[in-house]
Amino acid sequence: HQLAERLQNALRDGELALYYQPQVAAGSGRIENLEALLRWFPKEGGAVSPGEFIAVAERSNLIHRLGDWVLCEACRQKAQWKAMGLGDYRIDINFSGKQVTQVETFKRLEACMEEYELSPRDIGIELTENVLIEADDQVLDTLRRLYHRGMKIAIDDFGTGYSSLSYLKQFPVTALKIDRSFVRDAPSNPSDQAIMAATVFIGHRLGLEVVAEGVENEEQLELVRELGCDLVQGYYHFKPMSATDTQKLLGGLV
Ligand code: G
Ligand code: G
Ligand code: MN
Ligand code: NA
Protein backbone atom coordinates (compact mmCIF):
# COMPACT_ATOMS: atom_id res chain seq x y z
CA HIS A 1 0.00 0.00 0.00
CA GLN A 2 1.33 3.38 -1.08
CA LEU A 3 0.08 5.27 1.95
CA ALA A 4 1.60 2.69 4.32
CA GLU A 5 4.95 3.23 2.62
CA ARG A 6 4.66 7.01 2.91
CA LEU A 7 3.78 6.63 6.56
CA GLN A 8 6.78 4.43 7.20
CA ASN A 9 9.02 7.14 5.74
CA ALA A 10 7.18 9.77 7.78
CA LEU A 11 8.07 7.92 10.95
CA ARG A 12 11.72 7.78 9.87
CA ASP A 13 11.80 11.43 8.73
CA GLY A 14 10.19 12.86 11.86
CA GLU A 15 7.00 14.07 10.20
CA LEU A 16 4.77 12.93 13.05
CA ALA A 17 3.80 15.07 16.00
CA LEU A 18 1.62 14.82 19.05
CA TYR A 19 -1.00 17.49 19.54
CA TYR A 20 -2.65 18.01 22.90
CA GLN A 21 -6.25 18.79 23.76
CA PRO A 22 -7.04 19.84 27.33
CA GLN A 23 -9.88 18.32 29.32
CA VAL A 24 -11.40 20.82 31.72
CA ALA A 25 -13.49 20.51 34.88
CA ALA A 26 -17.14 20.96 33.85
CA GLY A 27 -17.84 23.38 36.70
CA SER A 28 -14.78 25.59 36.87
CA GLY A 29 -13.30 25.22 33.40
CA ARG A 30 -9.94 24.49 35.02
CA ILE A 31 -7.61 22.36 32.90
CA GLU A 32 -7.26 18.88 34.41
CA ASN A 33 -5.68 16.59 31.80
CA LEU A 34 -4.38 16.52 28.24
CA GLU A 35 -5.26 14.02 25.52
CA ALA A 36 -2.42 13.29 23.10
CA LEU A 37 -3.58 13.15 19.47
CA LEU A 38 -1.33 12.01 16.66
CA ARG A 39 -0.80 14.28 13.66
CA TRP A 40 1.15 13.86 10.42
CA PHE A 41 2.69 16.81 8.60
CA PRO A 42 4.06 15.48 5.30
CA LYS A 43 6.94 17.45 3.79
CA GLU A 44 5.71 16.22 0.41
CA GLY A 45 2.31 15.12 -0.79
CA GLY A 46 -1.09 15.90 0.58
CA ALA A 47 -2.23 16.03 4.17
CA VAL A 48 -3.77 12.85 5.56
CA SER A 49 -6.19 12.85 8.46
CA PRO A 50 -5.38 10.80 11.58
CA GLY A 51 -8.53 8.74 11.09
CA GLU A 52 -7.27 7.71 7.65
CA PHE A 53 -3.59 7.05 8.33
CA ILE A 54 -4.19 5.29 11.65
CA ALA A 55 -6.61 2.95 9.85
CA VAL A 56 -3.90 2.27 7.24
CA ALA A 57 -1.35 1.61 9.97
CA GLU A 58 -3.82 -0.75 11.66
CA ARG A 59 -4.08 -2.83 8.50
CA SER A 60 -0.32 -3.28 8.33
CA ASN A 61 1.94 -3.95 11.28
CA LEU A 62 3.05 -0.33 11.20
CA ILE A 63 0.59 0.44 14.00
CA HIS A 64 3.03 -1.07 16.51
CA ARG A 65 5.90 1.19 15.51
CA LEU A 66 3.57 4.16 15.26
CA GLY A 67 2.02 3.36 18.64
CA ASP A 68 5.43 2.94 20.24
CA TRP A 69 6.48 6.30 18.90
CA VAL A 70 3.32 7.87 20.37
CA LEU A 71 3.75 6.43 23.84
CA CYS A 72 7.43 7.28 24.08
CA GLU A 73 6.85 10.80 22.77
CA ALA A 74 4.03 11.33 25.28
CA CYS A 75 6.30 10.12 28.11
CA ARG A 76 9.17 12.31 26.95
CA GLN A 77 6.90 15.35 26.75
CA LYS A 78 5.33 14.69 30.14
CA ALA A 79 8.77 14.36 31.74
CA GLN A 80 9.90 17.62 30.13
CA TRP A 81 6.85 19.58 31.28
CA LYS A 82 7.17 18.05 34.73
CA ALA A 83 10.81 19.11 34.94
CA MET A 84 9.83 22.61 33.81
CA GLY A 85 7.28 22.82 36.63
CA LEU A 86 4.41 23.28 34.19
CA GLY A 87 1.75 21.82 36.47
CA ASP A 88 0.51 18.36 37.13
CA TYR A 89 -1.40 17.52 33.96
CA ARG A 90 -1.78 13.88 33.04
CA ILE A 91 -1.29 12.98 29.39
CA ASP A 92 -3.78 10.41 28.04
CA ILE A 93 -2.78 8.19 25.13
CA ASN A 94 -5.09 6.45 22.62
CA PHE A 95 -4.52 2.77 21.88
CA SER A 96 -6.05 1.08 18.86
CA GLY A 97 -7.20 -2.49 18.37
CA LYS A 98 -4.10 -4.27 17.17
CA GLN A 99 -1.92 -2.59 19.78
CA VAL A 100 -4.11 -3.90 22.55
CA THR A 101 -3.89 -7.48 21.27
CA GLN A 102 -0.21 -7.45 22.26
CA VAL A 103 0.85 -7.35 25.88
CA GLU A 104 4.20 -5.98 24.63
CA THR A 105 2.45 -2.65 23.98
CA PHE A 106 1.94 -2.16 27.71
CA LYS A 107 5.37 -3.49 28.57
CA ARG A 108 6.83 -0.81 26.31
CA LEU A 109 4.65 1.81 27.93
CA GLU A 110 5.91 0.75 31.35
CA ALA A 111 9.50 0.71 30.10
CA CYS A 112 9.15 4.24 28.68
CA MET A 113 7.57 5.49 31.88
CA GLU A 114 10.44 4.02 33.84
CA GLU A 115 13.01 5.55 31.49
CA TYR A 116 11.49 8.98 32.07
CA GLU A 117 10.90 8.35 35.79
CA LEU A 118 7.16 8.88 35.48
CA SER A 119 4.54 7.68 37.94
CA PRO A 120 1.36 5.83 36.90
CA ARG A 121 -0.51 9.07 37.55
CA ASP A 122 1.41 10.93 34.85
CA ILE A 123 0.05 8.94 31.92
CA GLY A 124 -3.47 7.67 31.18
CA ILE A 125 -4.88 5.22 28.66
CA GLU A 126 -7.91 5.49 26.34
CA LEU A 127 -9.43 2.35 24.85
CA THR A 128 -12.67 1.84 22.96
CA GLU A 129 -15.27 -0.69 24.06
CA ASN A 130 -14.61 -2.92 21.06
CA VAL A 131 -10.91 -3.00 21.81
CA LEU A 132 -11.45 -3.80 25.50
CA ILE A 133 -13.80 -6.65 24.74
CA GLU A 134 -11.19 -8.27 22.51
CA ALA A 135 -8.35 -7.98 25.01
CA ASP A 136 -7.02 -11.36 26.15
CA ASP A 137 -6.30 -12.40 29.74
CA GLN A 138 -2.65 -11.44 29.59
CA VAL A 139 -3.50 -7.91 28.45
CA LEU A 140 -6.33 -7.62 31.00
CA ASP A 141 -3.99 -8.71 33.79
CA THR A 142 -1.52 -6.04 32.73
CA LEU A 143 -4.27 -3.41 32.63
CA ARG A 144 -5.43 -4.51 36.10
CA ARG A 145 -1.90 -4.14 37.41
CA LEU A 146 -1.63 -0.63 35.94
CA TYR A 147 -5.06 0.21 37.37
CA HIS A 148 -4.02 -0.90 40.85
CA ARG A 149 -0.89 1.21 40.57
CA GLY A 150 -3.14 4.23 40.03
CA MET A 151 -3.22 4.60 36.27
CA LYS A 152 -6.36 6.14 34.78
CA ILE A 153 -8.02 4.03 32.10
CA ALA A 154 -10.86 5.56 30.08
CA ILE A 155 -13.36 3.98 27.73
CA ASP A 156 -13.30 6.17 24.64
CA ASP A 157 -16.30 6.81 22.37
CA PHE A 158 -18.51 5.31 25.07
CA GLY A 159 -21.92 4.17 23.87
CA THR A 160 -20.98 3.60 20.24
CA GLY A 161 -19.39 0.14 20.49
CA TYR A 162 -20.82 -3.34 20.34
CA SER A 163 -20.22 -4.55 23.86
CA SER A 164 -22.64 -5.09 26.71
CA LEU A 165 -22.71 -3.18 29.97
CA SER A 166 -21.45 -6.24 31.84
CA TYR A 167 -17.87 -5.40 30.91
CA LEU A 168 -18.08 -2.33 33.12
CA LYS A 169 -17.93 -4.59 36.16
CA GLN A 170 -15.19 -6.84 34.79
CA PHE A 171 -12.74 -4.44 33.28
CA PRO A 172 -10.35 -2.11 35.06
CA VAL A 173 -11.60 1.32 34.02
CA THR A 174 -11.75 4.67 35.77
CA ALA A 175 -13.62 6.90 33.31
CA LEU A 176 -16.25 6.94 30.58
CA LYS A 177 -15.88 9.34 27.68
CA ILE A 178 -19.31 10.03 26.20
CA ASP A 179 -18.91 10.00 22.45
CA ARG A 180 -19.31 13.33 20.74
CA SER A 181 -22.13 12.01 18.53
CA PHE A 182 -24.39 12.13 21.62
CA VAL A 183 -23.22 15.59 22.66
CA ARG A 184 -23.62 17.15 19.22
CA ASP A 185 -27.44 17.15 19.02
CA ALA A 186 -28.22 16.74 22.70
CA PRO A 187 -29.55 20.28 23.30
CA SER A 188 -32.48 19.57 20.93
CA ASN A 189 -32.62 15.78 21.11
CA PRO A 190 -34.28 14.14 24.14
CA SER A 191 -32.92 10.69 23.20
CA ASP A 192 -29.33 11.92 23.29
CA GLN A 193 -30.05 13.61 26.62
CA ALA A 194 -31.51 10.40 28.03
CA ILE A 195 -28.48 8.37 26.95
CA MET A 196 -26.11 10.91 28.43
CA ALA A 197 -28.06 11.10 31.71
CA ALA A 198 -28.03 7.30 31.96
CA THR A 199 -24.30 7.21 31.26
CA VAL A 200 -23.60 9.75 33.99
CA PHE A 201 -25.80 7.81 36.40
CA ILE A 202 -24.22 4.44 35.79
CA GLY A 203 -20.72 5.91 35.64
CA HIS A 204 -21.08 7.66 38.98
CA ARG A 205 -22.74 4.66 40.64
CA LEU A 206 -19.70 2.65 39.56
CA GLY A 207 -17.33 5.29 40.87
CA LEU A 208 -16.16 6.36 37.43
CA GLU A 209 -15.39 9.79 36.09
CA VAL A 210 -17.60 10.90 33.21
CA VAL A 211 -16.18 13.02 30.40
CA ALA A 212 -18.26 14.75 27.71
CA GLU A 213 -16.47 14.85 24.37
CA GLY A 214 -16.95 17.23 21.48
CA VAL A 215 -18.45 20.17 23.36
CA GLU A 216 -18.44 22.97 20.79
CA ASN A 217 -20.86 25.58 22.14
CA GLU A 218 -22.43 27.16 25.20
CA GLU A 219 -25.69 25.18 24.91
CA GLN A 220 -23.87 21.87 24.91
CA LEU A 221 -21.70 22.98 27.82
CA GLU A 222 -24.74 24.04 29.87
CA LEU A 223 -26.39 20.72 29.20
CA VAL A 224 -23.45 18.47 30.05
CA ARG A 225 -22.98 20.47 33.25
CA GLU A 226 -26.64 20.04 34.18
CA LEU A 227 -26.42 16.33 33.45
CA GLY A 228 -23.50 16.06 35.86
CA CYS A 229 -20.53 15.30 33.59
CA ASP A 230 -17.30 15.77 35.52
CA LEU A 231 -15.03 16.81 32.69
CA VAL A 232 -15.47 18.42 29.30
CA GLN A 233 -13.35 18.21 26.18
CA GLY A 234 -14.07 20.02 22.94
CA TYR A 235 -13.50 22.91 20.61
CA TYR A 236 -15.55 25.24 22.84
CA HIS A 237 -12.67 25.26 25.31
CA PHE A 238 -9.65 24.14 23.30
CA LYS A 239 -8.81 22.61 19.95
CA PRO A 240 -5.94 20.12 19.89
CA MET A 241 -2.75 22.21 19.96
CA SER A 242 0.89 21.72 19.09
CA ALA A 243 3.31 20.99 21.93
CA THR A 244 4.65 24.55 21.59
CA ASP A 245 1.20 26.11 21.97
CA THR A 246 0.30 23.73 24.79
CA GLN A 247 3.49 24.67 26.60
CA LYS A 248 2.66 28.38 26.24
CA LEU A 249 -0.81 27.75 27.60
CA LEU A 250 0.42 25.74 30.60
CA GLY A 251 3.23 28.21 31.23
CA GLY A 252 0.68 31.00 31.48
CA LEU A 253 -1.15 29.13 34.22
CA VAL A 254 1.69 28.63 36.70
O1 G B 1 -7.67 13.82 16.47
P2 G B 1 -8.72 13.22 15.60
O3 G B 1 -10.19 13.31 15.94
O4 G B 1 -8.56 13.63 14.19
O5 G B 1 -8.40 11.63 15.67
C6 G B 1 -9.02 10.76 14.82
C7 G B 1 -9.00 9.39 15.45
O8 G B 1 -7.66 8.95 15.61
C9 G B 1 -9.66 9.33 16.82
O10 G B 1 -10.46 8.17 16.86
C11 G B 1 -8.51 9.18 17.76
O12 G B 1 -8.85 8.42 18.88
C13 G B 1 -7.47 8.47 16.92
N14 G B 1 -6.12 8.78 17.38
C15 G B 1 -5.56 9.99 17.53
N16 G B 1 -4.30 9.87 17.98
C17 G B 1 -4.07 8.55 18.14
C18 G B 1 -2.94 7.79 18.56
O19 G B 1 -1.90 8.31 18.96
N20 G B 1 -3.05 6.45 18.53
C21 G B 1 -4.18 5.82 18.14
N22 G B 1 -4.22 4.50 18.14
N23 G B 1 -5.28 6.51 17.73
C24 G B 1 -5.22 7.85 17.74
O1 G C 1 -11.75 8.93 19.20
P2 G C 1 -11.25 10.05 20.05
O3 G C 1 -12.29 10.52 20.99
O4 G C 1 -9.93 9.80 20.68
O5 G C 1 -11.02 11.24 19.04
C6 G C 1 -10.81 12.50 19.48
C7 G C 1 -10.97 13.36 18.27
O8 G C 1 -12.04 14.29 18.43
C9 G C 1 -9.74 14.15 17.96
O10 G C 1 -9.40 13.93 16.64
C11 G C 1 -10.15 15.59 18.10
O12 G C 1 -9.52 16.37 17.11
C13 G C 1 -11.65 15.53 17.89
N14 G C 1 -12.36 16.57 18.62
C15 G C 1 -12.03 17.08 19.82
N16 G C 1 -12.91 18.03 20.20
C17 G C 1 -13.82 18.11 19.22
C18 G C 1 -14.99 18.91 19.04
O19 G C 1 -15.38 19.74 19.86
N20 G C 1 -15.68 18.71 17.89
C21 G C 1 -15.31 17.80 16.97
N22 G C 1 -16.06 17.68 15.88
N23 G C 1 -14.22 17.03 17.11
C24 G C 1 -13.49 17.17 18.23
MN1 MN D 1 -9.61 9.55 22.65
NA1 NA E 1 -13.79 9.62 21.73
Asked if 209 contacts 23 with a C-beta cutoff of 8 angstroms, the reply is no
Cα 66 to the center of its chain, rounded Å:
15
Indicate the top mutation candidate among 35, 127, 235, 236 to test ligand 2's pocket, ranked by most ligand atoms within 8 A of CB. 235
**Residues with a CB atom less than 6 Å from ligand 1:** 37-38, 49-51, 54, 70, 94-96, 240
SS3 track for the chain: CHHHHHHHHHHHCCCEEEEEEEEEECCCCCEEEEEEEEEECCCCCCCCCHHHHHHHHHHCCHHHHHHHHHHHHHHHHHHHHHHCCCCCCEEEEECCHHHHCCHHHHHHHHHHHHHCCCCCCCEEEEEEHHHHHHCCHHHHHHHHHHHHCCCCEEEEEECCCCCCCCHHHHCCCCEEEECHHHHHHHHHCHHHHHHHHHHHHHHHHCCCEEEEECCCCHHHHHHHHHCCCCEEECCCCCCCECHHHHHHHHHCCC
Which listed ligand is nearest to 157 at the C-alpha? 4
Q: What pTM did the predictor assign?
A: 0.97
Cα 149 to the center of its chain, rounded Å:
19
pLDDT digit string (tens) for the chain, length 254 residues: 789 999 999 999 999 999 999 999 999 999 999 999 999 999 988 889 999 999 999 999 999 999 999 999 999 999 999 999 998 999 999 999 999 999 999 999 999 999 999 999 999 999 999 999 889 999 999 999 999 999 999 999 999 988 788 889 889 999 999 999 999 999 999 999 999 999 999 999 999 999 999 999 999 999 999 999 999 999 999 999 999 999 999 998 87
Indicate the top mutation candidate among 19, 34, 38, 73 to test ligand 1's pocket, ranked by most ligand atoms within 8 A of CB. 38
Which residue has its alpha carbon closest to ligand 1 atom 10? Answer: 51
**How many domains are there within the chain?**
1
Residue 173's domain is classified under what CATH number? 3.20.20.450
CA of 126 to the centre of ligand 3 (A): 6
Which residue range is the domain that position 196 belongs to? Answer: 2-251
Given this model, what pLDDT does residue 57 score? 96
Asked if 47 contacts 17 with a C-beta cutoff of 8 angstroms, the reply is no
Given this model, what pLDDT does residue 163 score? 79
